[in-house]
Amino acid sequence: MKKLLSKDYTACFLETFSMLNSDWEAHYHNFVQEYHAANPEIIEGLKKAITAAKGVWMGMINKISLQQIGWEIDDEGNEIKHKPLDLQLSALSFVQHFNFIGRPYYNHIGKWFFDEQLTTIDILDKGLKAWYKGLEYELSLPEEVRQSVQHLPLPTFLDFDALIVRNNRLREYDSNYWYKSLFGIDIQSQVYIKSIRSIVDGEYKFPEQNTFAERWEYFVRYSAQQYLEMLQIRHFSSRAELRLSKFEKLLAKINTFIEEAEEYDINNAFKPFDGSSKYSVYLWLTKEEFRGDRVLQSYLSSEVYAEYVLLKQWLEEQLKELQTSNQPQQRNSNEPINEPEAGIPYFNSDIRDNVYNSLKPHFAKKDYEALQMLLNEGKTTKKPLLFCNNGNLLAYAFNELYSAKLITKCNKKQLKEWIISNFEYQEDNKVVKCFKIDYLHKVMVDKYNFSRPKMPITIITT
């Protein structure tokens, strides 16, 4: 393949004199395809040839204009403007300059003739760069990924449709290869969509979703699942990050959001649905009683379900697997044998005696043993224990311990349910009352509706 000279680029350009402009793209395409391997500067060479020819034409136009444009005297002695520029004359002068006489050419050559050809070359330049970028992308992938598209025909030169199909398939396999190396499974949203789609007349077709159950399955297994996979990759970019502490940290954030959503439900149960609130969207997606007749219209639905339902489930599974695979830790001799189950408040063993001694003065002597057993094991009492003081003192004390992470293995909602099941209180040392969820909400969550007790219970925690 020979090295092109300036005259070769000019010759390529001159051939367009006798072509329709719709044929220029194919003409230049074939020229670039034949010579680009040995001539990396081929695009620049064509641009220079066309620009130089445009300069020649512009010089001729200036000379012709001087001859034609101006004032003349008619037969009666009146001054008149000359006729417009003769484009046929300019075209003839132009082809004569390039010794093109004797061959068909445009009768009207104007500035557009050159500008449109330069535009064609620019488009070809961008295409050529995209072509090489696509090839470079394929070569950068692992051998296992490249093997996945060997059954596809190699695209011919600058066949961008075929190249796009091939690169899209490569990206799909590459994403799955990387995801599987991190998490040990294929991308489940891809697995699902492949299982339901079919090919009709060369195009993908998907079944109609007529029922709520069908739409829900598609939402969970594809729309929300895609968002989950994005979250997994965002949080865990390498296997080194798949560790217990990070799982627990993310899960704690999710559980905090869920607790806040439960409180939001209490305060907004009868208000119109707010599609811009993650709390509203979460409650609609997870609680049928909240959903009611409300219609979900929110761009947050996939994001919320992925982050606060699917990611939560996945994190819990990962934690369970890690905890099962690890050797059991040696139990502290001060801890009880019957450790509370998940969801039941667990009082840190280092402060458990202090909690008991601080709370004991507010209970009858007959309840001391039951109180100590409740703090040690967390199990529900047969009968609620009477806290002989205002209920906000007890609720506030438990909330402070929970905030300091001295009560664990439960979320705040579970802690409140545990308080309701195991305690009563004596309002103003007179009326015995049961704890209610909205009362505990004001004490433990809503900072605007609750004032700190003037004399809170002091529990030494250090």
At residue 331, the pLDDT reads: 45
Confidence of residue 328 (pLDDT cuts 50, 70, 90): very low
At residue 336, the pLDDT reads: 45
Same domain, 119 and 227: no
What is the Cα–Cα distance from 47 to 118, expressed in whole angstroms?
6
Residue 153 lies in a domain: no
Tokens of 286: 């997870």
Residue 32's nearest CA partner among 21, 47, 19 is: 47
Same domain, 26 and 119: yes
pLDDT tens string 157-199: 667 677 777 777 788 888 888 888 888 888 999 899 888 888 7
Count: domains in the chain: 3
Same domain, 90 and 50: yes
At residue 325, the pLDDT reads: 59
At residue 327, the pLDDT reads: 47
pLDDT tens string 264-273: 776 665 667 6
Same domain, 89 and 11: yes
pLDDT tens string 131-163: 777 777 777 777 777 777 777 777 766 676 777
Same domain, 221 and 314: yes
End of a domain among 293, 325, 357? 325
Coil, strand, or helix at residue 423?
Answer: strand
Section 334-355 average pLDDT:
72
Residue pair 332/349 in contact by the 8 Å Cβ criterion:
yes
Residue 37 lies in a domain: yes
End of a domain among 294, 325, 356? 325
Section 222-228 average pLDDT:
93
Q: What is the pTM of this model?
A: 0.49
Strand (E) or helix (H) holding 359: helix 352-359
pLDDT tens string 75-100: 555 555 554 445 555 556 666 666 55
Residue 165 lies in a domain: no
Same domain, 236 and 314: yes
**pLDDT for 66 beyond 70:** no
**pLDDT for 279 beyond 80:** yes
Residue 458 lies in a domain: no
At residue 223, the pLDDT reads: 92
Section 217-221 average pLDDT:
90
At residue 314, the pLDDT reads: 93
Same domain, 50 and 118: yes
Confidence of residue 1 (pLDDT cuts 50, 70, 90): low
More confident residue, 268 or 44: 44
Q: Give DSSP secondary structure letters for 283-330.
A: HHHH-HHHHTT-----TTHHHHHIIIIIHHHHHHHHHHHHHHHSPPPP
At residue 335, the pLDDT reads: 46
Section 384-390 average pLDDT:
90
What is the Cα–Cα distance from 176 to 233, expressed in whole angstroms?
11
**pLDDT for 2 beyond 70:** no
Section 373-393 average pLDDT:
86
At residue 315, the pLDDT reads: 92
Same domain, 366 and 297: no
Same domain, 305 and 353: no
Q: What percent of the chain has pLDDT over 70?
A: 78
Same domain, 246 and 319: yes
Q: Identify how many contiguous H helices and E strands the chain contains and give both numbers.
A: 20, 9
More confident residue, 29 or 336: 29
Confidence of residue 7 (pLDDT cuts 50, 70, 90): confident
- What's phi and psi for 145, nearest 5 deg? -70, -45
**pLDDT for 321 beyond 50:** yes
More confident residue, 428 or 65: 428
What is the Cα–Cα distance from 31 to 8, expressed in whole angstroms?
10
Residue pair 172/190 in contact by the 8 Å Cβ criterion:
yes
Same domain, 388 and 320: no
Same domain, 316 and 362: no
Residue 36 lies in a domain: yes
- What is the average pLDDT score of the chain? 79
Residue 201 lies in a domain: no
At residue 21, the pLDDT reads: 75
Residue 454 lies in a domain: no
At residue 5, the pLDDT reads: 79
Section 229-245 average pLDDT:
85
Confidence of residue 326 (pLDDT cuts 50, 70, 90): low
**pLDDT for 312 beyond 90:** yes
Residue 333 lies in a domain: no
Residue pair 356/371 in contact by the 8 Å Cβ criterion:
yes
At residue 274, the pLDDT reads: 75
**pLDDT for 332 beyond 60:** no
At residue 62, the pLDDT reads: 64
Give the structural domain span for 39: 6-72+80-128
Residue pair 93/72 in contact by the 8 Å Cβ criterion:
no
More confident residue, 353 or 104: 353
What is the Cα–Cα distance from 42 to 124, expressed in whole angstroms?
11
More confident residue, 330 or 205: 205
